[in-house]
A and B are shown apart, each in its own frame.
Chain A
C-alpha cells in the first residue's frame, strides 16, 4: 500500500490559465468555428474530494480530463499535481498517481479481461528492474488485480476475451484496470454511460467507498446531472471551455444557472432521501398524469 505517500490536506490539482486547442482539424471535427477547446481555466481540485465536471456537449469536459492525465498537452497554462508541475513529470510517474477511465475503450485484439486489468500494473513495473522488459506479474500484482475485479464485479469474466463482452462489462473491466493502477486520483469520462441502473449505482458506490476509505480523489465527467449531484462533493459547470460555476451541488444545480448554460427550461427540486438538488425536464405540454 502507498498509504504513507498519501498527501494530507493538500490540493490534488492546481490548474492555472489553462488554454488548449486541438492541433489538427481532423482530430476533432466540431466545425463550430470555435478555435480553443479550453479558454483559460483556473480551478483547484481538493485532495480527497469527488469533483463532478458537467456541461453541454463540446464544452471541453473530455479535453480537460485528458489534459489532467497529460494524455494531451496544453498550449498555455500550468497544471500542478500534488504540488509538482505535471509537464515536468515522466509519463509513468503520472500513471502511478493518476488513472484515467476513457469514454471509449473498444479493443480489437482478444485480450482477456484479466490481462486488460493487469495492464494497470504497467507503470509500477516500469520503475522496477525488469527482466528483458517483460515485467512478469508477481503475486502482489495478481492480488491487486483480483481485488479490483471483485470490486467491479468482473472476476467471473476473468478469462473472457474483452472484445466479446458487453459494453457495461467492458466499462467495469476498465474501471478495474484503473483501480489496479493504485492511483491517488481517478479521472473518469462518462463512467456510467454504458451501464444499467444496478451497475451505475454500484460504480458510484465503489467510487464513494474508495474515496472514503483511501482518500481517493475523483474527477468525474458526466452528462447525468442527477448522478453528479447525488455523488459528487462539488460540481464544476463548463461552457465553451470556460468555468461558469464551481461549488457544492446546491450552488450549481439551480434553474437560473442551468437555463443560462443549456438554453432550455428545467425543473429543479430536492431528492426525497438525500435532499440534494434534482433536475428534470419539463415534459411534454399537457402531459400531466391525472392524480389518482
Chain B
C-alpha cells in the first residue's frame, strides 16, 4: 500500500499517481464491507454461533443420559422424561427402576456437570482478561482451593450445613475464593507488569498452602466424614438433590449475567488497566465486580463438586482460537463449550470403570495438565507479556 491518506491530499501528486488513486478507490469499497463481516463481531454472528453451540450442547447432554452402569435407550429416556413432565415428580416410582435412575441420578448429575463446567469456563475467561494471562484458571491460581478451604472449614465446624434447608456452603466457599483471588491479584499488580510465569508460581504456592490447610482439616475430622471430604476434593460430581440444584442455578444465572454484562469492559481490560481507563472504563469498579463474581461462581461450583481443574484454562483457550477474542461472544460460548466438555468428561468418568466411578477431576486433570504444559512450552510468543 504505497498510496495512502495524506498523499492523496497532497497537491504535489503527479497525474499518474492521481490516476492510480482513482483506480484504487472502487477496490476499497468491498474492503469496507468485509470489515463488518469478517473482522468485527456482529449480532448475526453472535446468534448463529450461540445457537449452534447450544444445539451441540443439547445433543451431548442427550447422548450422555444414555450411558452409565445401566443402559437406558433414547426412546426410553424420551418416554420417561415426557411422563415425568406429565405426572410430576411424585409418580416417578410408578415408572420403574429406569426412570428412578434417569431422573434421580443421571439427569441431575448431567445437569450439574454442565453447570459446573460452564461456570468454570466463564470464570476462566474473566480471570484471563483481568490478569492479562491466557493461562489463568481458578484451579491453577489457587482460587478453587481457597474456596475449598472455606468450605472445608465450614464442614469441620458444622456451620455450613443448613440454614432453612438450604446449604450455606457456597457462601463459605465464596469467602475463601475471594480471599484467594485478592491475594493473587495483589501479587499480580504489585510490580506493575508481571511476567505470566510469576503469577502461575504465586498460584502454585497458594495452592500448596491451601492444600496443606485442607489436609490438616480432613486429618482432624472423624474418619467417615474425612473420607467423603477427600472424595469431594478430588472433584466428584455426586448427584445433588433438586433444591440444591435450584440454589446453584440461581448462583450461576446471577454470576453469569454479571460477567456477560461486563464483557465489553473485559475486552478493554485486556489492554491493561491504564489503556482501559483512557478508553473510558471505570477500572476499579469493574475489577471489584469481576473479583466478586468470579469468587461467587467458583465458590458455588467448588462447594458442590470439589476441585475440578483445567476446564477454566483449556476451554477458553480453545474457543478463543476458533471464534476470536471478543468477550461478548467468547464468554457465553466458552460457558456452553465448558459445560458440554464436562458432561462428556463425566460420562467417561462414570462409564470407563463401570460400575465403579472415578472423580471427574481426575479425568480433566489428566487431559488438561499435559495440554497446559504444552502451552507453557510452545506458545511462547503469546506469553511474553
Q: Name A's B-contacting residues (CB within 8 A).
A: 24, 26-28, 66, 69-72, 90-92, 94-96, 98-100, 102, 105-115, 118-120, 122-123, 125-126, 132-137, 142, 145-146, 149-153, 155-156, 158-159, 163, 181, 202, 205-206, 209
Contacts and interface: CB of A to CB of B under 8 A. Distances in A.
B263 interface: yes
Nearest to A174: B275
A70 B35 contact: no
B281 A111 contact: no
B280 A158 contact: no
Given A115-B324, A150-B5, A153-B4, A122 B191 contact: no
B279 A26 contact: no
Contacts of A120: 279
Given A105-B275, A108-B382, A122-B280, A133 B35 contact: no
A66 B264 contact: no
B190 interface: yes
B278 A136 contact: no
Contacts of A92: 280-282
A114 B383 contact: no
Nearest to A199: B4
Q: Which of B35, B191, B263, B382 has the most CB of A within 10 A?
A: B35
B34 interface: yes
Interface string B269-306: 01110110111111100000000000000000000000
Contacts of B385: 106, 108
B40 A114 contact: yes
Given A26-B192, A163-B381, A111 B274 contact: no
Nearest to B194: A26
Q: Chain B, interface size: which category?
A: 35 or more
Contacts of A109: 128-129, 134, 270, 320, 325
Contacts of A24: 190
Contacts of B274: 66, 71-72, 102
A110 B320 contact: yes
Contacts, number: 149
A119 B326 contact: no
Majority SS of interface residues in chain A? helix
B264 A115 contact: no
Q: Which of B38, B279, B382 has the most CB of A within 10 A?
A: B279
Given A110-B320, A112-B324, A133 B39 contact: no
Contacts of B41: 115
B279 A132 contact: no
Given A137-B40, A142-B40, A205 B325 contact: no
B31 A155 contact: yes
A133 B324 contact: no
A205 B12 CA distance: 14
Given A107-B270, A115-B324, A126 B31 contact: no
A135 B266 CA distance: 13
A133 B260 contact: yes
A162 B190 CA distance: 27
Given A71-B277, A153-B1, A125 B39 contact: no
Contacts of A112: 39-40, 324
Interface string B17-37: 000000000001001101110
B167 interface: no
17 contacts: A26-B192, A66-B274, A71-B277, A91-B283, A92-B281, A105-B272, A107-B271, A108-B134, A114-B40, A115-B324, A115-B325, A122-B268, A122-B281, A123-B280, A137-B40, A153-B1, A159-B34
B328 interface: yes
Q: List 6 A-B pairs, minimum CB-CB distance, nearest first.
A: A95-B280, A123-B280, A114-B39, A92-B280, A100-B278, A205-B6
